[in-house]
Structure 1
Amino acid sequence: MIQLKEYTIPFVGLKQGLHQFEYDIDNTFFEHFEYDEFNAAAVKVDLEFNKKTTMLELQLNITGTVNVNCDLTNEPFNLPIENEFLLVVKFGDEYNDENEELLILPHGEYEVNIQQYIYELIVLALPHKRVHPGVEDGTLDSDILEKLDELSPKEKTIENNNEETDPRWDKLKNLLNDK
């Protein structure tokens, strides 16, 4: 993967202490990763870069919205996202990123690229099931929702013990009785 220059931080020239970086992420960032789940993205990344004598601490905070399609109706909507991540960078003999919260850079390295961490932080901020807010509160008017309502079972029968049952199950019960 080609590293994007704007997400590479040359830490050798920085003084010890806290440094602030800001990034605005849009769809062109995700095109680089060949990720096309978003219709549009407007995410702001705030990075607090704390340079210490033996290590670096990177606190990433993201806020913004991504335009995605609803999993139920396929209607596009803006989904607000928010996430944070702390990355500790230490120095060792060889590059090692096996631990998700610790990055080891070889001695003599002078810069760190954070594009992969930003990408993962945004993608992991998404919920597993993306539901349009209009579906949850009942205000969305969609052809798909009308079709789902039309196809859902409506009538229920009441048995002797006053429990409601699904009519499809009643048909299956009749098969047992027809022996």
Structure 2
Amino acid sequence: MKNLKAFDIELFKLGLGKHEFSFEIGKDFFDNFEDSLTKNGKLTARISLDKSEVLIRAELEIKGVVELVCDRSLRTFEEPIDVSHKLLVKYGEEFDDSEDDIIILDQNLPVWNVANIIYEFIGLQVPYKKIHPELREDDDEPLDLGLEFDFLSLEPEDELVYSTGDTETDEEEEENEGEGEETNENVDPRWQALQKLKDQNKKK
């Protein structure tokens, strides 16, 4: 990667103790990554290293903004990035970054290029769904499913009761049906439909 040599840290030349490094990140940085989720940004990455005889403790901080394209409106907008992460850096036979908090560096390479790890942590901050800030409030509104009514809003007198047994006598059924006919004019048509279903079940 032609423009990333500035991200080299020569670990072998570092003495024991703490060391600070700062890197400015912009369009030239992202141009080195073909499948980058963003092509522009303005960020600062700071890496603090605490070197001992057996390992290096690293603290990574990345702050700034990246430029994204809204999935809905295709307008560009700036997304804030704020990363803070701690790592352990060790030497081994070959490079290995499969663990989240541990990096194994090839013991035969005196230089650690931190461009990739910076890029990866920026990528983790980029939202999967890229929506312009002006449209996010609309995006968070609940969906209208077109329901006519909500059972959770029923008043106590509107409760539906289901019984598995037929305990009413024929005379009581006729009496209750007669009362229902008298009050049908005042009943909500939606409840009438439910009442018909109940009556059909009783007759089966």
TM-score with structure 2 setting the length: 0.62
The alignment of Structure 1 onto Structure 2 pairs a total of residues equal to: 147
SS of equivalent residue, structure 1 residue 37 = coil
Are the equivalent residues in 1 in contact too, given 2:3–2:29 (CA < 8 A)?
no
Q: Distance in 1 between matches of 2:102 and 2:30?
A: 24
Q: Partner residue of 1:80?
A: 80
Q: Which amino acid aligns with 2:112?
A: V
RMSD: 2.7
Q: Partner residue of 2:27?
A: 27
In the TM superposition, residue 95 of structure 1 has moved relative to its aligned partner by 3.2
Q: Partner residue of 2:105?
A: 105
Q: Partner residue of 2:117?
A: 117
Higher relative contact order (CA 8 A, sep 6+): 1
Q: Distance in 1 between matches of 2:51 and 2:5?
A: 20
Alpha carbons of structure 1 residues 13 and 76: separation in structure 2 relative to 1, 3 Å: same
Q: Partner residue of 1:130?
A: 130
- The structure with the largest alpha-carbon Rg is 2
Percent identity at matched positions?
Answer: 28
- Structure 1 residue ranges, 4+ long, deviating more than 6 angstroms after superposition: none
In the TM superposition, residue 133 of structure 1 has moved relative to its aligned partner by 1.4
Alpha carbons of structure 1 residues 3 and 98: separation in structure 2 relative to 1, 3 Å: farther
Structure 2 unaligned spans of 5+: 139-143, 150-188, 192-204
Are the equivalent residues in 1 in contact too, given 2:30–2:40 (CA < 8 A)?
no
Higher strand share: 1
Q: Distance in 2 between matches of 1:134 and 1:3?
A: 35
Higher helix share: 2
Structure 1 unaligned spans of 5+: 139-153, 163-179
Q: Partner residue of 2:175?
A: none
Are the equivalent residues in 2 in contact too, given 1:61–1:83 (CA < 8 A)?
yes
